[in-house]
Chain A
Amino acid sequence: MNSRIIIVNVIRWFLLLFVQIFLLKNMGFYDLSTPFIYVLFLLLLPFGIPNIVLYLLAFGTGLTLDAFYDTMGVHATACVVLAFVRISFISISLNRDAIDDPEPSLGYMGFQWFSLYAFLCVISHHLVLFFLETFRLTEVGYTLMRCGLSCIFTLLIILLVEFIFYRRTPR
């Protein structure tokens, strides 16, 4: 069981980064909206993962993205923020002892919980990402607009992927 989770996550990591780097990197709507689907990997990591491992994975994933996007540290920081939001949200919304689902996916957790979870994680990630990229407050309106539109785009794709790949299991 345990090794299966690891293998699934490794495959997911490669798949999502492949899609992100080779497909979505070239997509964009009027330079306003860019989807960052790779955050789904961090969203779907299993519940029992220790915090330090989660942070290291987030940082490492971010750095890998940075290497391809040529923005050293920007994605890494955004992913670390996402990890923090993930930990906080899970610890607030779920009782730690009562968790018997392996991972926070749509199939296990239901649409309502998962969409809120994904929304919070994605928006925090995008906010940090775009503000670090712009790195000034004078263009705040434009940055917020880019952030909001990209967030919608990313969320749509994440939900789409979830609906396609996960069958709803009765709780």
Chain B
Amino acid sequence: MRNLWIFISRYNAFFLFIIFFTIGIYLTVKNNSYQRSVTLNSTNEVVGTAYERLNIFKRYLNLGMVNDSLAAENAKLKSQLLGLTTIDTAKDVKVIDTVTNQDYTYLAAKVVKNSITLRNNVMTINKGTIDGIKSGMAVIAPQRGVVGFIRDVSEHLATIQSLLHKDTKISVTLKKNNALGSLVWGDGNFDIKKSFIKEVPNHIKMYVGDTIVTSGYGSFPKGILVGRISKPNVATNDNFLSGEVNLFTDFSTLQYVYVVKYKKAEEQKALESAVKPNE
């Protein structure tokens, strides 16, 4: 102990230096916003990289769970298929909607390129004209939720103008009272989990948690689940209400989508084009 004291007092200049230097650095980082932000950012970067690594590892651990949910979904779909009148070709599954007597077929496609970070997002799937895909067809997510419309088609591939696009507008209704509205994305809020329902008439009451489904007026079949209201009754300048919607679709993890083929699409289009807009 005595030797330690002798050692410290002999090199007191160095130890005092360490003490004062530490105090100085501490004061610098604590009191200067720039230096503090740099310190925090570099720490965050280290932590962030560590988390990223961990995430890659965790994804593998989650594979089992993902498989289970896929298998469960498969089983559910198969049992539903048995209950419906189906004609099972190799690729297409024909679903006959007995209520409105429209028939839609669903075609599974794999997403080969996805984008979610841009203002206007477009994704690519591995099905094209050879599989009967045409521009304007609706695309829905595997479990629940909407994805967008087919935009351009080549022989083996097609691009989807996703909901996360400024031109995409989907006709939707509130499930409880069939009030019409349209679903758009990115009105000052580019959160990929949030969207907006607009043009809802003023007298309609929206509440948090109300379910939004497709109206069936566009290329989407009626009653596809879209999302839930998270912020209702946002007043706009016009005579309509808006609301913020939490989407069911998770665009960031989308692997497979279903392209909806509407058998009477062309017939309907031809008929409706006969009506001039300003007639």
Contact = CB atoms under 8 A, between A and B. Distances in A.
B20 A80 contact: yes
| Interface class of chain B by DSSP | helix
Interface string B9-48: 0001110110011011111111110110010000000000
Interface in A43-80: 51-52, 55, 58-59, 62, 66, 71-74, 76-78, 80
Nearest to B31: A72
B17 A132 contact: no
Contacts of A78: 24
The range of chain B's interface size is 20 to 34
A14 to B, nearest CB: 23
Contacts of B38: 135-136
Interface stretch (A19-27, A82-90, A104-112, A152-160): A82-90
Contact of A73 (B12, B14, B16, B32): B32
A133 to B, nearest CB: 9
Contacts of A52: 12, 16
Contacts of B25: 73, 77, 132
Nearest to A81: B21
29 contacts: A51-B13, A52-B12, A52-B16, A55-B16, A55-B17, A55-B20, A59-B23, A71-B28, A72-B30, A73-B24, A73-B26, A73-B29, A73-B30, A73-B32, A74-B24, A74-B28, A76-B20, A76-B24, A76-B27, A77-B24, A80-B17, A81-B21, A83-B20, A91-B13, A132-B25, A132-B35, A135-B34, A135-B38, A136-B38
Question: Which 7 A-B pairs give the minimum distances between C-beta atoms?
Answer: A77-B24, A73-B27, A72-B31, A73-B28, A84-B17, A80-B20, A87-B13
Interface of B: 12-14, 16-17, 20-21, 23-32, 34-35, 38
